[in-house]
Amino acid sequence: MAARAATADPYGEDLHLALYVLYELHYRGFAHVPEEREWDPGLLRVRRALEDRFLAALRRDVPGGRTVAEVFGELLAEPVEPAAGEGGVAHHLQHHGERWQLREYAALRSLYHLKEADPHAWVIPRLTGRAKAAMVAVEYDEFGAGRAEDVHARLFAGLMRDLDLETAYGRYLDAAPAPALAVVNLMSLFGLHRSLRGALVGHFACVEVTSSPGSRRLAAAMRRLEAGAAAERFYDEHVEADAVHEQVVRREVVGGLLESEPALEAQIAFGADATVHLEDRLGAELLAAWRAGASALRTPLQPAPAPETAASAAESPDADPAGA
């Protein structure tokens, strides 16, 4: 199995579905799978072969030798308003997207947002001083600042309910194409390896730096398409919170890590660039499908129920806001 993994398409569905499933053993696991399998030596060998294949492709395709200042200087540059028919996923959804496309986007992003901040927490014991203190402060906000109802994963579950999606954790895994799985696998890969702690900080910083502008567009998309109050709240929350987080992460988390471990600069830059690379691949796949009038999912979603049916479902006492 490990030998076959070493020859798999590094961006393909076989590799990323297998890697996603193996990583999930470190999160919530699976029903009827013994918890001891998390550290099964055979599975770890396969996982390592898949990771090596994926990481080698990223190192081949992502520019190296860049400084943190170069990388984040580009990310912080004010984007030029795209011409008609151009721009990324958030721009498309804000101006041209249809409700079914918004539902597909939310279904795919649920694989990320229903575990949002969890893989980033793995870096905390691997940091010291300023970087550690600031990372904990940002994570505290991500986990609701002590309020379970404000945990960001729960807020995203509320968005999903507004869009008539099922909120169960991992519900849309089978529908996700490889580029969507790769985005989630990246943060698990970086998070599970102490040797990649700089890359995880780069990934986290990239997400925080780019979140506020993208969330502003997505909040506008939610309003334009009348997605619902919970859907609007999720992105409104990120516009405000991530504008603050961006400053803390760049100055204290990244700055503190560079101060204590300057040799990790190239790795931090790589983590951010790899994040952009995979997000661009995902965006290109989504937009190519949508502009052709086709679903971007491996299994298209069921149509949303009629308003009266949706209202009845929302009142169901069995709904779990976090899918747990």
43 and 87 Cβ atoms separated by less than 8 Å: no
Q: What is the pTM of this model?
A: 0.91
* Domain range 66-314, its CATH number among 1.20.910.10, 3.30.565.10, 1.10.260.40, 1.20.1080.10: 1.20.910.10
Q: Is 214 a residue whose pLDDT tops 70?
A: yes
Task: Give CA separation, 120 vs 40, 147, 189, 295, in Å.
Answer: 23, 19, 11, 31
Mean pLDDT of the chain: 91
User: Among residues 215, 213, 212, 220, which one has the least CA distance to residue 242?
Assistant: 212
Q: Give φ, ψ of 264 to 5 degrees.
A: -90, 5
At what angle are helices 178-192 and 13-24 packed, to 10 degrees?
A: 40
pLDDT tens-digit profile of 17-30?
999 999 999 999 99
List the domain boundaries for the chain. 1-61, 66-314
With residue 307 as reference, give the H or E element that holds it.
helix 307-314
Burial group, residue 285, by CB count within 10 angstroms (0-12, 13-18, 19+): middle
pLDDT tens-digit profile of 37-47?
999 999 999 99
Q: Report the half-sphere exposure of 105 (CA within 13 A, side-chain side).
A: 25
Say how far residue 68 (Cα) sits from the centre of its chain: 21
pLDDT tens-digit profile of 62-115?
988 899 999 999 998 866 565 555 679 999 999 999 999 999 999 999 999 999
